[in-house]
Amino acid sequence: MIRSLFLIAISIACGSALFAQNGLAGLWEGRITEGGIYSEQGHRFEIFLQVKNGHIKGQSYIYISQDSVITRRLSGRMYEDRSIYLEEIDPNLIGSGKDSMPEDGSPGVITRKYQVLFNRSIWDTNLEGYWQEITPHSFNHKRQRGRVKLKKKERKAKA
């Protein structure tokens, strides 16, 4: 009896983590700030995420102006507490050393890292957290940091 209840509890816990990952896939829209974690100035920001076996891949789009969009590839994972780690990769740069190599082994240099939390509810599903620029000197005062706040883009029903 106790063993059955334990197995049911484990099944529910694992199932909810997988269900959360399914809700993560898709287009997210919001803002990315620059100038520090307390800054309010920023840009329109979108990410498109795909989730497979706990690994996340996608694209990020930072709209600097109407004619200027920075696009980067994303790679990362979601943990059991719904925290998400993402690396933004610039495939046009070639780096050396393990700190510049993306986790997925693809060519390119990690230019930015994101630590966000996936908040899922009936009223407000969002991604909220922080980003930091990756530089050779981690404690350099010129290193950029900021926040991200994103909401899931709702799919429109087909008529």
At residue 96, the pLDDT reads 47
Coil, helix or strand at residue 9: helix
Asked if 45 and 54 count as a contact pair (C-beta separation under 8 A), the reply is no
Token representation of residue 22: 């399914």
pLDDT tens, residue by residue, 28-43: 999 999 988 888 999 9
Please tell me the total count of domains within the chain: 1
Domain of 147 in residue numbering reads as 2-152
> Across the chain, what does the average pLDDT equal?
80
| CA gap 23, 37 in Å, rounded | 27
Question: Nearest 5°: phi and psi at 130?
Answer: -130, 160
At residue 99, the pLDDT reads 47
State which residues of the chain have pLDDT below 50: 5-7, 13-21, 96-101
Asked if 22 and 53 count as a contact pair (C-beta separation under 8 A), the reply is no
At residue 154, the pLDDT reads 77
At residue 20, the pLDDT reads 44
DSSP secondary structure, 100-124, as one string: GS-TT--SSEEEEEEEEEEE--SS-
Residue 51 sits in a domain whose CATH number is 2.40.128.30
In a domain, 92, yes or no: yes
At residue 22, the pLDDT reads 54
